[in-house]
Structure 1
């Protein structure tokens, strides 16, 4: 770096000037400036394709390789190639998207009375009309839901709730 000195009243005074030489004196630190696949000149890319430099990594942008580098070439492994399984939608009645113009459906949570009415009332009324209730209004032919103990029914309801959420 070149410095200018000037003589002043108080003695010798140093003034900084602009320097055009690099502070590394010609050494280049390429680790600071990563050259990924898209960066660099065409000549650099051709050179990297033929003889890759060990200090310049080949950036894959997060994509997993579908094989491995052999002694002379890249070896493909068929099991590593992703396979997209798409269902056949011929004759499918629904549209592939839901329009934003569909009105929002706001439904309050079910109360215990509504849940009881949705699950048990129909069976109880059928048993009552056909005379299949016992002396304590217990069903003579209970359904699988009526045979459940309270603990098992609660555990089953919580399992269904966790599957929905």
Structure 2
């Protein structure tokens, strides 16, 4: 029996092919009743070209504004650390790396 690139949904038991219900793919489709957008994207949509998101870009997106505000308000200690650190500033290097590597992060 040739499957031609399709995963089998059962197995041969003796001479009989038995279907295993857990192997049958199930499509989960949302109910789009009342949804106002059309189900396609026009070919006239302009291309989006986005460069690589580098560590420097991440720093500017997450930390730079808070650091500048703390500096202007005098909320840094003698070593330049914030006296009132934000949630992101309290992360350990290991936790920050784990969050960066999570599914959905911008790492391709």
Give the TM-score range, shorter chain: 0.5 to 0.7
Q: CA deviation at 1:87?
A: 4.5
Give CA deviations for 1:109-149 in whole Å, capped at 9, x if unaligned.
11211111111011111111111111111000101110001
Structure 2 unaligned blocks of 5 or more: 1-20, 22-28
**1:53-86 Cα deviation digits (max 9, x unpaired):** xxxxxxxxxxx9xxxxxxxxxxxxxxxxxxx761
Seen in structure 2, the aligned counterparts of structure 1 residues 150 and 127 have a Cα distance that, compared at 3 Å, is: same
TM-score, normalised relative to structure 1 = 0.42
**Which of structures 1 and 2 has the bigger CA Rg?**
1
Alpha-carbon distance in structure 1 between the residues aligned to 2:107 and 2:68: 30
Question: Aligned residue pairs: how many?
Answer: 83
Q: What RMSD over aligned residues (CA atoms) do the two structures have, in Å?
A: 2.9
Higher relative contact order (CA 8 A, sep 6+): 2
TM-score, structure 2 normalization = 0.62
**Which residue is equivalent to 1:68?**
none
Cα 1:96/1:161, change in 2 over 3 Å = closer
